[in-house]
Structure 1
């Protein structure tokens, strides 16, 4: 099982709307995540827009590829793309920046 942690940055002026949208994630989006192997998936958001995601999966690349094929994901990503900015430059960028795991207590 892979444990995956990633970072994104949500635009500060969109934080409230981002939170609200995630209170109502479409059932078909949730189904797609489950069906493509996303388990124990959580998102954490700071007040300055730093978004930390965590999930467990057998194969992260396969899970991402599976989601790329889902219509629900394409629609969700199209709607959510405007919420993100690049972590460094401030330009729009929705690519996940994966973090290396350096410690795990089981």
Structure 2
């Protein structure tokens, strides 16, 4: 299983609502994530809005494509888009947040014994 880490920027004035939305993720969204190959998925949020995500998948691109094909993901992404700032270069590319995050390279991993 491959490990992936990514970052996005949540608008600072929307942090509380963003956190609240993730306390009540729709059951059908959770099921779709599992069914499309997302494992050990976690989000971490700094108080300035820096969002760090971690997910394990056999193939992240395939998992993203499978999620993009679901109706529930289209609804979720439409609601989540408003929480994020523009891309780092200031442009808005129209992609949903789950397709526009910046992947971070892994530079160290402590393997299990």
Please classify the TM superposition score into its range, dividing by the shorter chain length.
over 0.9
**Match runs of 1:1-106 below 5 Å:** 1-86=1-86, 88-89=88-89, 92=92, 94=97, 95-106=100-111
| 1:13 CA displacement | 0.5
| 1:42 CA displacement | 0.2
Give me the whole-angstrom Cα distance separating, in 2, the residues matched to 1:92 and 1:85: 9
What are structure 2's unaligned runs of at least 5 residues?
none
Give deviations 1:2-61, integer Å, cap 9, x for gaps: 100000000001000000000000000000000000000000000000000001011101
Aligned residues: 106
Give deviations 1:78-100, integer Å, cap 9, x for gaps: 00000001353555563110001
Q: CA RMSD, aligned part only?
A: 1.3
Q: TM-score, normalised by structure 1?
A: 0.94
Give me the whole-angstrom Cα distance separating, in 1, the residues matched to 2:39 and 2:104: 18
Relative distance call for 1:23 and 1:15 in structure 2 (3 A) is: same
